[in-house]
Amino acid sequence: MTDDPPLGTPVLELRGVNKSFGAVHVLHDVDFAANAGEVTALVGDNGAGKSTLIKCIGGIHPLDTGDYYFHGKPVSVRNPKDAGALGIEIVYQDLALCDNLDIVQNMFLGRERRGRFALDEASMEKAAAKTLAGLSVRTVTSLRQRVSSLSGGQRQTVAIAKAVLWNSAVVILDEPTAALGVAQTAQVLDLVRRLADSGLAVVLISHNMRDVMQVSDRICALYLGQVAADVRAADVTIPDVIQMITSGGAARDAQGNGTAVAAVAAVAAGAAGAAGATVNITKNVTDAGAPGEGAPGAAQGSEAAGSEAAGSEAAAATTKGGAA
């Protein structure tokens, strides 16, 4: 768990992952890696398969096909416990913490320290305080505060601190700043960066391109359940990333697919990119393909029709002035 691999080497790697729900083929031959010391942004439109991929990583969904490697060795992750044992922590936006418990109870939930006759509250509180202090978290006044009384940013902070407390090797954050204001977003992004700088492999799912560009080292873009691009953040611009998200980007264009879409998406991307804003595609190919009725698979099967839909929908892309 704490092998401290050299920075930039894959801690977690998935190769050739396919995942279907009934007739709906959601993930297509997906390769994904999270490297030590790096923030990997996982981006994609609504329904692209991001949450499905991290649920596969977290052992919630079994892979249909594909290989899972941890520190270069093949592993079998069949449930969340297996993932936790490897040191993989997933922080879900809403489900990360239990409202009715305090900060210490949340951080030790399911892994409580026991004394001779009862729980060792003092030692747990000390460890929780040390972890939060180590992350320079100063906004939490009492560790015995119920989580229900915390702000969104503080909740994210506690959820992330929990991952650190358990010496995780990989921390995956699903939209950690989606509901946060300016100051709290900055705090959480700062924490995300520091986690990576301390050597962890961090995966950040976000629709906010400004956040993505600010903290990530690598960007993996999913388009209709396929990897459209896996690039270094320094090598691309926000409009480039938006194009990958909305049309599958250059890789698909090279295959002669989605060229018309790319042109339209580029227009939308230009507008969105200039603002560095949250990409808010009102409807997309996947939606147009009626999710739950074989949407991604169906769209893949009729590329031309799917591309047309994407083009018109991408043109309808709107931008919000940035959640941050």
d(CA 24, CA 319): 30
* Nearest CB to ligand ATP, comparing residues 19 and 155: 19
Q: Residue from 25, 28, 50, 252 that binds ligand ATP (CB under 6 A)?
A: 50
C-alpha pair distances (Å), 95 with each of 37, 40, 47, 174: 26, 22, 19, 10
Q: Binding marks (x or -) toward ligand ATP, 252..291, rule CB under 6 A?
A: ----------------------------------x----x
10 and 43 in contact (C-beta within 8 Å)? no
Q: Determine, following the binding rule CB under 6 A, whether residue 63 of this chain makes contact with ligand ATP.
A: no
Decide which of Mg ion, ligand ATP, none touches 153; Cβ closer than 5 to 8 Å per partner kind: none
* Nearest CB to ligand ATP, comparing residues 120 and 287: 287
Q: Determine, following the binding rule CB under 5 A, whether residue 51 of this chain makes contact with Mg ion.
A: yes
121 and 110 in contact (C-beta within 8 Å)? no
Percent of the chain that is helix, strand, coil (3-state, to 5): 40, 25, 35
DSSP 6: P
Q: Binding marks (x or -) toward ligand ATP, 291..310, rule CB under 6 A?
A: xx--xx--------------
63 and 53 in contact (C-beta within 8 Å)? no
Min separation Cβ 96 and ligand ATP, Å = 16
Q: Which backbone phi and psi does 149 adopt, to 5 degrees?
A: -90, 0
DSSP 102: B
Q: Residue from 48, 63, 90, 196 that binds ligand ATP (CB under 6 A)?
A: 48
Q: Determine, following the binding rule CB under 6 A, whether residue 184 of this chain makes contact with ligand ATP.
A: no
Residues lying near ligand ATP in the complex (CB under 6 A): 21, 24, 26, 44, 46-52, 286, 291-292, 295-296
